[in-house]
Amino acid sequence: MLQHQIVGNPAVPQPNPNALYFIYVQPGTRVVQGGSASCQAFCGYHNDISGQIFYAVMPYPGCQGCTGGMDAFTALTSTSSHELCEAITDAIPGQGWYDDANGEIGDICAWKTKKVGAYTVQLEWSNKAGKCI
Ligand SMILES: [Zn+2]
């Protein structure tokens, strides 16, 4: 279990409110969460353990639904930025910034991307700007 792999393991940075563990899953492995599966219902997700440990799970984007026409690496940088931003604004899913109609800040802007340096990231919703930025 993730909690046991992290807590007390000297090889892993210990959890704190500003730590987010990204778990990148090897190609060909289907991730199931809450009864739905990667490449069918999601391309990544973030969650918490008891409000103490924060993590994101990133299945390998081995399907058209999770590449959005991008190569796998670019799809991963895009979905990783999506989950990173949501883990900040809605660290305990549903208790932070969450819009009942549109979801979290990344969901509103899904598949809208831009380049930051050499990397493709996803746009995220801005209340101030009133759009995806
Ligand atoms: Zn999302």
Distance 2 CA to ligand 1 centre (A): 21
Beta strands of 13-118 (E only): which ranges? 21-24, 32-33, 36-37, 45-49, 53-58, 113-116
Distance in angstroms (rounded) separating the CA atoms of residues 43 and 8: 30
Distance 10 CA to ligand 1 centre (A): 31
Is residue 55, in this structure, part of any structural domain at all?
Answer: yes
Cα dihedral 70/74/75/77 (nearest 10) = -160
User: Dihedral sign, CA of 69, 74, 83, 12?
Assistant: positive
- Calculate how far, in angstroms, residue 110's C-alpha sits from the geometric centre of ligand 1: 8
SS3 of residue 9 by DSSP: coil
Ligand 1 (single-atom ion) residues, CB below 5 Å: 86, 104, 106-107
pTM: 0.93
103: in domain: yes
Q: Which domain holds residue 126?
A: 2-6+16-132
Structural domain contains residue 27? yes
Does any domain span residue 28? Answer: yes
33 in Cβ contact with 1 (< 8 Å):
no
Please give the distance, rounded to the nearest whole angstrom, from the Cα atom of residue 104 to the centre of ligand 1.
Answer: 6
Q: How many domains does the chain have?
A: 1
Per-residue pLDDT tens, the chain, 133 aa: give them. Answer: 788 888 888 999 999 999 999 999 999 999 999 899 999 999 999 999 999 999 999 999 999 999 989 999 999 999 999 999 999 999 999 999 999 999 999 999 999 999 999 999 999 999 999 999 9
43/31 Cα distance (integer angstroms): 9
Q: Is residue 11 part of a domain?
A: no
Q: Is 23 part of a structural domain of the chain? A: yes
50 domain-assigned: yes
Task: Give the whole-angstrom CA distance, residue 101 versus residue 94.
Answer: 12
42 in a structural domain:
yes
